[in-house]
Every structure is written in structure tokens, then in C-alpha cells.
Amino acid sequence: MKPRLRDVSVIGRGGFRRLAYVEWGSPKAERTVVCVHGVTRNGRDFDALAGDLAEHGMRVVAPDLPGRGRSDWLESPLHYTDRCYTHAMSTLIARLDVEHVDWVGTSLGGHIGMLMAAEQRSPLRRLVLNDFGARVAAGALRRIGGYLRQDWRFDTPQAAEAHLREALAPFGALSDRQWRHLAEHSTAAGDDGRLRFRHDPAIGLRFAVPIMIDVVLWSLWETVSCPVLVLRGEASDLLTRATVDEMQRRGTAARAGLVQAIEFAGCGHAPALMEDGQIAVVRKFLLEGNSP
């Protein structure tokens, strides 16, 4: 099974921009799953998960957030905001012509999922937070910001892959084929002919001022009422075990007994969701319950 490459025009500050996405499975499937990547990544990170879910009868859509992958860059670093992302995702859901979606969000994708789920009459039926939660460690954000502010360039695909194997080591123990897949979809030729990452360098400017205190999102989390699965990498420096424990006790979903949590060994921030066992955990959660 192969993905279909699609796109939709999204309006925002600076006019319309193209939002690219890949789609798996039948558009007539009973369930539609939206998978949203991390801050510098792209929708092709979810190919393994999407292929599996599609084989189990689900429709899967994995967008490239604005400024990433095949999607257009925005005019200013100031335009990469939560409102920009939620507006783009609501436009995408409208394009899909469904009443409800399930959401799998890694890191930033999890944050956007929480924002969407917290809204009144949200279309989100189920929410998977992959290594993201109601308290985000400042140290991890400083690490990510420092990485983003560097202009990485590579002379060969092999050099890019070697770099990603080191930089994304917390993803876990991936196969050679999986590392090649990530490298292939992470880079493109720049103006100088060298390979560069498929994201707007301006995104890094959002981290120009180091974050010195944890980002606290409890007020947001407390309004989420749909079933939630929180995934954590055992060695994650972004999502602590204590935060996960508190998320299972605190908030609307937790009080209703709707928050599950699983920790994956052998990885940090964030589990790649490429390994069969990790995929099975997500699939089981999404298949629970057959009505919105």
C-alpha cells in the first residue's frame, strides 16, 4: 500500500499557502486518523504506522505542518503560531469531510492535538499524545531550540543519514531501512546544491530566547474530555513520568477514567512509532469503541 500525495490551500497571515499531506486507506473508511509530527519533522514519519492502520480498515492522513516537508513556508517567523497550526488543521479536517477524527500527535503534534481536543464541540474522538503532556521540561526545549538554530547542510545522502542517526537516536533502535526512509524524506537540495532539512530555518527563530522555566499546560489539559493515550519514551527529557502520573489523576478525561499511559523502553523523546510493538499499542487504542 502506498500513500496518495495531496494538498489543500490554507489561508492565514500573508494569504493562502499550500498545506501538503499524504493519505492512506479508503476515504470511505469508518475511521479517519490524523497523524501530526514534531517541530522539525514531516508527515512521512508516520508511514509505518499509517500503512498498518490502513491495512486494518482506517483512513490515515499525515500532514506536513506549515513550513515543513512539502508544505509552503510562511512569510515571517512570527507567523508560526499555535493559531496558525490549529487553523491549518481545522481546514484539513474540513477537506476530509468527516465528523470525527482520531489524532496521533508526536511532540508539537501532540500539543496541537491538545489544543484541538480542548475546544468546545471538538471533532477529535480519541487522542494519542506521543511524548507530550501537560508540563514540558524547559531543558528539553532549550536543547531543541539550540539544534534548530544551526544551519545543517550535507554533501551526500549518506552524510545526512549519519547525522540523523545521531540527532534522532532517542527515536529508538531503528532498522537501516527505517533510517534511510527518515533521511530521504527529511532532506532536499538547497540553493547551493547541498542537502538541507525540509523545514523553514525561520522556525528556529521562535527559540531565539532560551526557555528557562517549564511550559505548564494544565489549564488546557483539564478541559480535554475525550479518551487519551499518553505515550512516553523511557528516557524522555521532555515528558517526565511524574507529569504522566498526574495527567492520569487530573482533568476532565482523567476523572472519567479515560486516560491511559504506556512507557516504551529503549527510547527517549520521542518514540518513532515504527516498531511493531509500538504500532500495536496505538492501533489497539484507536480500535477501542466503534462510535463517536
Q: Residue 262 has what pLDDT?
A: 98
| CATH code given to domain 4-287 | 3.40.50.1820
Nearest to 279 by CA among 185, 172, 134: 172
Task: For residues 123 and 226, give the distance between their C-alpha atoms in angstroms, rounded to a whole number.
Answer: 10
Q: Residue 209 has what pLDDT?
A: 83
Per-residue pLDDT of the chain (292 residues; tens, 9 = 90+): 789 999 999 999 889 999 999 999 999 999 999 999 999 999 999 999 999 999 999 999 999 999 999 999 999 999 999 999 999 999 999 999 999 999 999 999 999 999 999 999 999 999 999 999 999 999 999 999 999 988 899 999 999 999 999 999 999 999 999 999 999 999 999 989 999 999 999 998 888 888 899 999 999 999 999 999 999 999 999 999 999 999 999 999 999 999 999 999 999 999 999 999 999 999 999 998 654 4
Domain boundaries, the chain: 4-287
Cell of 278: 509500538
User: Three-state SS across the chain?
Assistant: CCCEEEEEEEEECCEEEEEEEEEECCCCCCCEEEEECCCCCCHHHHHHHHHHHHHCCCEEEEECCCCECCCCCCCCHHHCCHHHHHHHHHHHHHHHCCCCEEEEEECHHHHHHHHHHCCCCCCEEEEEEECCCCEECHHHHHHHHHHHCCCCEECCHHHHHHHHHHHCHHHCCCCHHHHHHHHHHHEEECCCCCEEECECHHHHHHHCCCCCCCEECHHHHCCCCCCEEEEEECCCCCCCHHHHHHHCCCCHHHHCCCEEEEEECCCCCCCCCCCHHHHHHHHHHHHCCCCC
Strand pairing class (59-63; 15-24): antiparallel
Task: For residues 80 and 195, give the distance between their C-alpha atoms in angstroms, rounded to a whole number.
Answer: 24
Contact 264, 172 (CB under 8 A): yes
Strand pairing class (187-189; 153-154): unpaired
What's the order of all strands across the beta sheet hosting 187-189? 153-154, 195-197, 187-189
Cell of 245: 502520573
Q: Residue 289 has what pLDDT?
A: 64
Angle at which helices 157-167 and 176-186 pack, to 10 degrees?
110
Contact 47, 278 (CB under 8 A): no
**What CA–CA distances, in Å, run from 28 to 31, 51, 84, 132?**
8, 16, 29, 31
Report the alpha-carbon angle 87-218-65, nearest 5: 25
Instruction: Find all residues with CB under 8 Å of 24, minimum gap 6, and list them.
Output: 1, 3, 4, 50, 51, 53, 54, 59, 60, 61, 62
Residue with cell 524522555: 236
